[in-house]
Structure 1
């Protein structure tokens, strides 16, 4: 499918749960909607600016009738998707710019701002119903655990927290140790029993819910740049149990298999522009994966073309991909190349969790955004070397030459 030009940097996207509609949040402050079909045709539906400043986050109701938007203007705005009009607004919902929003239950929405404040909202009420303040830096992502009615938040302060929304307490159910890196994204694998967190240094940290949220139990090294977005594969793929999609600041959308761990292939290429968010249509069970970022386009890639050779054993036949290294097709319909099917490095961390967390059980400007949370400026580091400061006795040292020939270096 051709790219959809948007004319502005894109911070977020969300698909309609049932229809061929996609909504994007733009730096210009607009919420732009498009329809698309399986033949690649797309058409604009509406473009609406709910407030001054950039629009950073979107979430949609279960039936797709309502869209909630947040951003630099600090408000929570409700949009009717049928008309593209604003139906409700909560001005000053937060004291600082809101970075993330997520509908977690039919009548419960979570928002997180640049100062680490998290609020829960009932759309039927004007005021928030609960406020959490355990973080001190921007909220980067949310994950909802339906089985336990728990909300997980990742933060730029290097920690994640777990909130039981059934409790009236404003303290988190669990709060991890500082992971010594900004936590930017989160997704579950293995049927929801494990959570994978993307970090600024390009490490995938794996948390085991049964062992608590105090510290990660594994670290997967291999991404040469930060992992800003994570997404699960549709459940109809055999490998969906342990394969995820990763969006990195190097502009590559990758498919990565975990436990056992290997890089499956490149799904889409945004050039030198960082990827902000990725999502799969039809409530995560569709055929199109959307990726957006700083290149001012929405790229829709057909997952069936990428994973069409997945067999009954859940493996991908890489021999069907291109035999020569080189740039991916410009239309985003990338194939899995044999050269990119390589082993990542996984390392066990020494446990540093405190007793309390170890015992927690789980089941599993109009056109500028100067106040957007900034990633800490760091000197370029080899992600292999970065792990040495907390090296465990079972940890593996990886030769940086591993990446030569993969096309993964910046």
Structure 2
């Protein structure tokens, strides 16, 4: 599990769609490109300074030729990944005083941006001005999800609602907006072939929306995370080791990246540990073109090599990138985590998986009415306010694991709580039961 020091806090991560390169948006206003191989050996490809203020959001186009960058400077920047140079800048892309928090490449002719005041704009990369503006949200935009089959954009917001925009319509009102969920909605990801959607919240509950039931309200609520779920990531559907269509990665403000199966509900293990730092972003790279980094040891991070007779399996191309407030990009082998073989020979990822999975049962997600007791326990441990869009000058986060809540029926600690102890590098120990008695 190689750690890549980038010298500044990371706000966002994207991977190249074809090459094994990760791009990080930094608090310093830079965008850095990190190239890696199947063993996790890595080097910095380029570093571009696009602003004197922080870069908060990244998105990459379909062929990986351009990266779009937004941040506190309220501009929309374009970086050419081939040359590693700053190609274009749209100053004051959002007229208001609020910084831009999110950007998403939708199609070859469309981008979306969202700012801290809840304003969403659609852009044609070929034009200088935006083509449409939406103002139905009143708090910061936390995440975007693109539904390609319907040409619809789903946005989540700190105002407690999500909205659905039909980008083909000239109407500046959403076609659907959920009821107030009475909590900040921080992240969203599609599962089950985009028929269901998981939304991460401030109190640590995963809200499940069913496309066939409409967007008015969630159909299930899964408690368990002891702190806010700030970022979510789906697994590649072609990943064959598990049911990838129902398994997601969750990044929480308690510093852990977890693999969670939704149907049935089950904790599969702890993927990465960022210590006391909240997890800002989790992404998966599925690039298939590895660069030969042999002979460049002076430029890359040292990682134990595989034996010459070891076969590089196709699944080795998948790497999980996660970032907290610790100025470090963590790269974890996806196949190494689920199979306990990351090519490093120490089995640390396997230990984390076994300790995270062994004591947890697999129970189906139940409805919100059946979860009232668990939600009460979870809510008591999550009173800290989420600061995902806070000013760049204040990049610290004081979230820390809450004390365990004792229940009358059992002596275990809170679900999903991870007890830390003095341990070796990347080894984690998990105690308690996961989503017990849902």
Using structure 1 for the length normalisation, give the TM-score. Answer: 0.81
Quick one: which of 91, 106, 122 aligns to 2:124?
122
Aligned partners of 2:254 and 2:401 also within 8 Å: no
Question: Once the two structures are superposed, what CA deviation does each residue of 1:139-190 show, in whole Å capped at 9, x if it has no partner?
Answer: 0000011111111001011110000111111000100011111100000111
2:391 counterpart residue number: 370
Gaps of 5+ in 1: 311-321, 323-327, 351-367, 386-396
Q: 1:47 to 1:371 in 2, by over 3 A?
A: closer
Q: 1:348 to 1:404 in 2, by over 3 A?
A: closer
- For residues 403 and 352 of structure 2, the distance between their equivalents in structure 1, rounded to whole angstroms, comes to 28
Q: 1:208 to 1:402 in 2, by over 3 A?
A: farther
Q: 1:280 to 1:339 in 2, by over 3 A?
A: closer
- For residues 180 and 382 of structure 1, the distance between their equivalents in structure 2, rounded to whole angstroms, comes to 24
- The SS at the match of 1:34 is strand
- For residues 218 and 71 of structure 1, the distance between their equivalents in structure 2, rounded to whole angstroms, comes to 34
Residues 219-258 of structure 1 aligned to structure 2 (within 5 Å): 219-235=221-237, 236-237=239-240, 238-258=242-262
Aligned partners of 1:197 and 1:206 also within 8 Å: yes
- For residues 399 and 205 of structure 1, the distance between their equivalents in structure 2, rounded to whole angstroms, comes to 26
Question: Once the two structures are superposed, what CA deviation does each residue of 1:381-408 show, in whole Å capped at 9, x if it has no partner?
Answer: 89999xxxxxxxxxxx996854369652
Quick one: which of 102, 105, 112 aligns to 1:103?
105
Count of aligned positions:
365
Residue 280 (str. 1) matches residue 284 (str. 2): yes
Residues 9-28 of structure 1 aligned to structure 2 (within 5 Å): 9-28=9-28
- The SS at the match of 1:192 is coil
2:167 counterpart residue number: 165
- The SS at the match of 1:191 is coil
Gaps of 5+ in 2: 289-314, 370-388, 421-438
Question: Once the two structures are superposed, what CA deviation does each residue of 1:229-277 show, in whole Å capped at 9, x if it has no partner?
Answer: 1011121234112111101111111010112111111111111111111
- For residues 71 and 201 of structure 1, the distance between their equivalents in structure 2, rounded to whole angstroms, comes to 26
Structure 1 residue 375 displacement after superposition: 12
Residue 403 (str. 1) matches residue 413 (str. 2): yes
Quick one: which of 352, 368, 374 aligns to 1:349?
368
Using structure 2 for the length normalisation, give the TM-score. Answer: 0.76
- For residues 379 and 252 of structure 1, the distance between their equivalents in structure 2, rounded to whole angstroms, comes to 11
- For residues 410 and 93 of structure 2, the distance between their equivalents in structure 1, rounded to whole angstroms, comes to 46
Structure 1 residue 376 displacement after superposition: 12
- For residues 168 and 334 of structure 2, the distance between their equivalents in structure 1, rounded to whole angstroms, comes to 37
Aligned partners of 1:195 and 1:207 also within 8 Å: yes
Structure 1 residue 49 displacement after superposition: 1.2
Choose 45-54 or 71-80, whichever is displaced more. Answer: 45-54
2:332 counterpart residue number: 301
Residue 36 (str. 1) matches residue 46 (str. 2): no
Aligned partners of 1:176 and 1:214 also within 8 Å: yes
Quick one: which of 258, 266, 273 aligns to 1:269?
273
- The SS at the match of 1:306 is helix
Q: 1:298 to 1:73 in 2, by over 3 A?
A: same
- For residues 16 and 188 of structure 2, the distance between their equivalents in structure 1, rounded to whole angstroms, comes to 21
2:58 counterpart residue number: 58
